[in-house]
């Protein structure tokens, strides 16, 4: 065998090994807020990597997400839930996933809401609504999932943080507080659960073109100011987050605990 042939064989073996680390075939993943935007992109990406999917939605139709998951050859369970409601409803989600698939390997806490108003006139309802969906549900969904994962000694929990996990933002005090909480809860749970084989991490998206950022993008002056600060020179898309979630949900991230992975086009480096 020539030297080049030996090299090709070695590269082939290495490639199989690398692919195996990212293979999610047979896993069951739950994604909240999966009807559109970042949640939809992540759910479809996980399905294409081999996961059967549990989609948690509130009022928006997940039909397009379901169609794309089934096109990837995966099964899909849709659960409707108000994540700002009683924690008993949140706890039922992981039980429903286990009833359907017999297990829950991955939880992606993606769902989130935002309310914009001046801090001087911000209402208690807006504060509580945002905190309940964006941070309280993250903790209690993670708690329920971890109780199942701990029995098998493995699991991946990924929550969606934000640039406002690190910065204060403008006219979104409860959103900034809730995303700061996501970062700290991620670290706190990692400290307790890493020894149980459960990886708890977060992804902090930069400025992504979604429904949540539509009001900013419609403000020509602010949109331009944001875009010009991003070293990559553009707003992100939901698909830009897929690689990050696949990594954190795979065996390739088995020694990654309590990390907040920024996918921001370089925003925080500026």
- Determine which one of 122, 175, 207, 255 is catalytic: 175
With bands split at pLDDT 50, 70 and 90, how would you rate the model's confidence at 5? very low
Q: DSSP states of 56-77 as a string?
A: EESSS--HHHHHHHHHTT--EE
Q: At CA 25, angle to CA 24 and CA 31, rounded to 5?
A: 55
Q: How far is 62 from 59, CA to CA, in rounded Å?
A: 9
| Matching residue, tokens 């939809």 | 40
Q: What pLDDT is recorded for position 7?
A: 38
For residue 165, pLDDT beyond 80: yes
For residue 211, pLDDT beyond 90: no
Q: How far is 241 from 43, CA to CA, in rounded Å?
A: 11
Which residues on adjacent β-strands are paired with residue 203?
Answer: 160, 261
Q: What pLDDT is recorded for position 37?
A: 96
Percent of the chain with pLDDT over 70: 94
Cα distances (angstroms) measured from residue 235 to each of 77, 78, 170, 226, 229: 32, 30, 18, 8, 10
Q: How far is 146 from 142, CA to CA, in rounded Å?
A: 6
Write out the H or E segment, with its range, that includes residue 245.
helix 242-248
How confident is the model over 54-104, as pLDDT tens digits? 999 999 999 999 999 999 999 999 999 999 999 999 999 999 999 999 999
Q: What pLDDT is recorded for position 215?
A: 87
Q: What pLDDT is recorded for position 2?
A: 46
For residue 265, pLDDT beyond 90: yes
Percent of the chain with pLDDT over 90: 89
Question: What sign does the dihedral 65-71-72-76 (CA atoms) show?
Answer: positive
Q: What pLDDT is recorded for position 19?
A: 83
- The structural domains of the chain, ordered by start, are 26-269 (3.40.50.720)
Q: Which residue has the higher pLDDT, 11 or 202?
A: 202
Cα within 13 Å of Cα(240), Cβ side = 18
Residue range 106-133: mean pLDDT, rounded: 98
How confident is the model over 228-251, as pLDDT tens digits? 999 999 999 999 999 999 999 999
For residue 8, pLDDT beyond 60: no
Does 207 participate in catalysis according to the annotation? no
| Matching residue, tokens 């700290």 | 184
Q: How far is 37 from 45, CA to CA, in rounded Å?
A: 12
For residue 10, pLDDT beyond 50: no
Q: How far is 90 from 36, CA to CA, in rounded Å?
A: 20
Cα distances (angstroms) measured from residue 252 to each of 23, 25, 83: 9, 14, 30
Q: What pLDDT is recorded for position 162?
A: 98
* Residue (of 192, 214, 213, 211) closest to 264 by Cα position: 213
Cα distances (angstroms) measured from residue 240 to each of 42, 74, 190, 255: 10, 22, 25, 23
């Amino acid at each position: 065998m020539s030297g080049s042939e030996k090299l090709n064989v070695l590269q082939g073996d290495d490639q199989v090994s690398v692919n195996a680390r990212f293979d999610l075939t047979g896993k069951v993943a739950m994604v909240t807020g999966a009807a559109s935007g970042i949640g939809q992109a992540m759910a479809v990406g996980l399905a294409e990597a081999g996961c059967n999917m549990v989609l948690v939605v509130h009022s928006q139709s997940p039909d397009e997400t379901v169609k794309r998951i089934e096109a990837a050859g995966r099964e899909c369970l849709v659960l409707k839930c108000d994540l700002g409601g009683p924690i008993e409803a949140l706890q039922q989600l992981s039980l429903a996933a286990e009833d359907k698939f017999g297990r829950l390997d991955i939880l992606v806490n993606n769902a989130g809401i935002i309310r914009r108003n001046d801090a001087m006139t911000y209402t208690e309802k807006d504060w509580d609504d945002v905190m309940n969906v964006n941070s309280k549900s993250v903790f209690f969904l993670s708690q329920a999932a971890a109780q199942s994962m701990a029995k098998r000694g493995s699991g991946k929990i990924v929550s969606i943080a934000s640039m406002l996990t690190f910065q204060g933002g403008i006219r979104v005090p409860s959103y900034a507080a809730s995303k700061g909480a996501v970062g700290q809860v991620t670290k706190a749970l990692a400290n307790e659960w890493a020894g149980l084989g459960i990886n708890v991490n977060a992804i902090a998206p930069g400025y992504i073109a979604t429904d949540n950022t539509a009001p900013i993008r419609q403000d020509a002056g602010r949109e331009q100011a944001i875009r010009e600060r991003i070293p990559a020179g553009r707003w992100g898309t939901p698909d830009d987050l897929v690689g990050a979630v696949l990594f954190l949900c795979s065996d390739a991230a088995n020694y990654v605990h309590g990390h907040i992975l920024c996918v921001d086009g370089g925003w925080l480096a500026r």
